[in-house]
């Protein structure tokens, strides 16, 4: 099999980690989500291993010190949870491939498997919590993202020609996205941005750009997240498509911004 060219280079890693205004403790799961959507799960290992082995120079430690075991566990859980949540917009097959590639290089003590369950508590959500409670949590989360336009957005899905689209949205928001035990609401918006920008789907991207602001992010932070996702996409070969091109690997319109 012909090997694909590298996307994640040392210079790109340095650039995305040091992006001004980028929220702390986010760069690696944003990068991993972007790579998963680009169908380059093989490149996620580089991001993960770099995150495990180097702190940011301005961290509360000696420059470039290795993270502690607890910090490595937090990094591992956050990157896995981002890939799980990304399934809502990138699809389960890409999440499967990304998580399996990640596991190949993850130390055993950093895994959360049946013998040491995930701290998300989703097993309890599914088996021990009333469905109405989970759906209500999802509805509240959805309203937190979309604010004043909540009814219009959900109404469009309910009246899309099949009410099943609205049901899918309620299930995804209830059981997947609204679980904030590992990633906060605003972190979840960053995951959604990283999954949507490579797909050339501006209507959905706009909602999550605003959703990040509604969750407490600043304009500068949202722009920084968008910026590193764009950098990874461009490094992968994505570009603006010519108006006459019937198809291609890129964007038909400039990805939405604030």
Question: Do the domain assignments include residue 257?
Answer: no
Question: Do the domain assignments include residue 133?
Answer: no
Bridge-partner residues for 239, per DSSP?
250
Question: Do the domain assignments include residue 132?
Answer: no
| Cα distance between residue 4 and residue 40, in whole Å | 9
The pTM of this model reads: 0.93
Dig out the tokens for 193 from the structure: 């941005």
Question: Can you give the pLDDT at residue 124?
Answer: 94
Question: Do the domain assignments include residue 203?
Answer: no
Question: Can you give the pLDDT at residue 116?
Answer: 78
Question: Can you give the pLDDT at residue 61?
Answer: 46
* CA–CA distances in Å: residue 103 to residues 26, 38, 79, 108, 131: 20, 19, 11, 9, 31
| Cα distance between residue 251 and residue 64, in whole Å | 36
| Cα distance between residue 190 and residue 74, in whole Å | 17
Question: Do the domain assignments include residue 67?
Answer: yes
Which residues of the chain register pLDDT less than 70? 1-2, 55-64
| Cα distance between residue 153 and residue 155, in whole Å | 5
> The domain containing residue 21 runs over which residues?
10-120+186-198+219-239
Dig out the tokens for 180 from the structure: 């904030």
Question: Do the domain assignments include residue 24?
Answer: yes
Closest by CA position to 173, among listed 207, 143, 153: 143
Question: Do the domain assignments include residue 41?
Answer: yes
- Residue 9 is classified by DSSP as -
How many domains is the chain built from?
1
Q: Rg (Cα) of the chain, in Å, rounded?
A: 18
Closest by CA position to 212, among listed 228, 203, 223: 223
Question: Do the domain assignments include residue 167?
Answer: no
pLDDT tens by residue, 53-94:
976 554 444 455 788 999 999 999 999 999 999 999 999 999
Question: Can you give the pLDDT at residue 249?
Answer: 85
Question: Can you give the pLDDT at residue 56?
Answer: 55
């Amino acid at each position: 099999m012909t090997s694909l060219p590298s996307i994640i280079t040392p210079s790109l890693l340095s650039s995305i980690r040091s992006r001004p205004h980028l929220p702390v403790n986010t760069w690696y799961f944003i990068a991993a989500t972007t790579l998963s959507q680009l169908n380059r799960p093989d490149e996620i290992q580089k991001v993960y291993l770099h995150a495990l082995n180097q702190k940011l120079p301005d961290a509360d430690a000696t420059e470039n010190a290795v993270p502690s075991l607890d910090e490595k566990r937090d990094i591992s859980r956050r990157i896995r949870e981002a890939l799980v949540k990304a399934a809502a917009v990138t699809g389960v097959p890409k999440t499967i491939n990304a998580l399996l590639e990640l596991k190949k290089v993850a130390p055993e003590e950093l895994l959360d498997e049946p013998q040491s369950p995930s701290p998300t508590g989703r097993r309890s959500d599914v088996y021990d919590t009333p469905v109405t409670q989970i759906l209500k949590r999802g509805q509240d989360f959805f309203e937190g993202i979309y604010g004043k336009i909540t009814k219009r957005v959900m109404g469009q899905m309910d009246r899309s020609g099949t009410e099943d689209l609205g049901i899918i949205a309620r299930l995804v928001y209830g059981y997947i996205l609204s679980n904030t035990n590992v990633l906060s609401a605003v972190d979840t918006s960053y995951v959604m941005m990283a999954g949507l920008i490579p797909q050339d789907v501006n209507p959905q991207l706009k909602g999550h750009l605003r959703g990040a602001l509604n969750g407490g992010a600043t304009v500068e932070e949202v722009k920084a997240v968008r910026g590193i996702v764009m950098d990874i996409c461009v490094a992968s070969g994505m570009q603006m498509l010519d108006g006459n091109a019937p198809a291609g690997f890129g964007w038909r319109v400039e990805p939405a911004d604030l």
